Chains A and B, each alone.
Chain A
């Protein structure tokens, strides 16, 4: 029985091993994904993002418990930054989800971003497919939440929850524009702290002033992850959002966009690789010329293109 079969037969070890092979970009992984693809498309993907210290992992822990209580299964992918200097990573999200380890209906995988600028490991996209084929009702992706990773999560998740905390020093205004706009739901965590209500108001105000036309205005939910407060509401809002997406055909749209995006990425990668394979010497020569200023990069590209096509 090969890996793909075993994943479909609900073998958790196979899932784990396949994800490793995906991270390693092994051809075996591609083979398995080919077989599993038709079984994907059934999971709802929830993205949890936000600045470090926001309590995302604790929130994911509580959310997963809530979902389990309703009898659904959850796959969790927790991404932490890989050190650009050493290539290593401390993957510390699992610690906050200890009560979930022995739950049969839960699978948790920690991933290093492994150099991905987007903050989400490249491998995460395919890991989601594996968990999807495995049969998880929900897949939660928890990201690093700094820089551009928020943009990545929009591509991957159906619902994006942005977790903020009062008093972390960033005013809503200070938070990069664009990040606030990707949120489908705002969670103000550690809301038992001072400044929580103020933060909620600031977010609401920003939404009021925003140029966007909302069919689904992002709700702002107050949570205290460590006690479980507000998680009920959060879970409900997520479901409401997913309902809204499904009923209005938006989910379909998003998924089609996702398919396109992923395929274009694959195409880009693949073609670049092929070109490099077949034209390395020519490219090296061109690069030397460019450095010597014998030719400019744009003309060089024309030259190369004419040769290839």
Chain B
């Protein structure tokens, strides 16, 4: 008898940015929406993020960054996920990210960028609707 699927999310802070209010509020919000949330803490390298995502077999990775380093760090995460054959993980991002950078990030494989003003319920909806069917590993 299969249990209802629980969505597992990794919330990560790549790079040196120390602003974690948003990441923590989202983490709590996702928990309240019934998901299992793993928060990595600050100062994560893309390597650490991807390795954690794999060990925890998460359905979603949420990247939070307010320092402007997203154009370097986010694509690196996507590259590593590809290398490890983990492209079926849904990757979303948020923080201080200008709209004009979003197309490039999406090209790299980020499913959506949530800019300031996004509500928790929007993110929950998006995740529920877009979590990829976890295929063959």
Chain A interfacial positions (CB closer than 8 Å to B)? 3, 12-17, 19-20, 23-27, 82-83, 86-92, 94-95, 98, 101-102, 107-110, 112, 114, 273
Contact = CB atoms under 8 A, between A and B. Distances in A.
A257 to B, nearest CB: 27
B96 interface: no
B63 to A, nearest CB: 16
Interface string B1-30: 111011010000000000000000001101
A24 B55 CA distance: 16
Given A13-B85, A17-B57, A88 B30 contact: yes
Contacts of B39: 90-92, 94-95
A273 B32 contact: no
Contacts of B111: none
B40 A20 contact: no
Given A16-B57, A90-B27, A92-B39, A273 B1 contact: yes
Contacts of B36: 82, 88-89, 91, 110, 112
A80 to B, nearest CB: 9
A13 B86 contact: yes
Interface of B: 1-3, 5-6, 8, 27-28, 30-41, 44, 47-48, 51-52, 54-57, 84-86, 134, 137
A77 B35 CA distance: 18
B3 A25 contact: yes
Nearest to B41: A95
18 contacts: A12-B55, A14-B137, A15-B55, A16-B57, A20-B134, A23-B3, A24-B3, A82-B36, A83-B32, A88-B30, A88-B32, A88-B34, A90-B37, A91-B39, A94-B39, A108-B55, A110-B36, A273-B1
B32 A110 contact: no
A11 B86 CA distance: 13
B40 A24 contact: no
Contact of B6 (A12, A23, A273): A23
Contacts, number: 98
Task: Give the dominant DSSP class at A's interface.
Answer: mixed
Nearest to A110: B38
B57 to A, nearest CB: 4
A40 B75 CA distance: 40
Contacts of B41: 94-95, 98
Given A19-B57, A24-B5, A25-B1, A98 B48 contact: yes
Contacts of A101: 48, 51-52, 55
A33 to B, nearest CB: 15
A12 B84 CA distance: 11
A18 to B, nearest CB: 9
A137 to B, nearest CB: 18
Contacts of B31: 83, 86, 88-90
A25 B2 contact: yes
A94 to B, nearest CB: 6
Q: Which of B36, B39, B47 has the most CB of A within 10 A?
A: B36
Contacts of B37: 88-91
B2 A109 contact: no
Nearest to B53: A16
Contacts of B8: 20
A95 B42 CA distance: 9
A12 B137 CA distance: 11
Contact of A87 (B6, B44, B52, B134): B6
Q: Which of B40, B51, B55 has the most CB of A within 10 A?
A: B55
B109 to A, nearest CB: 18
B54 A16 contact: yes
A107 B37 CA distance: 18
A98 B40 contact: yes
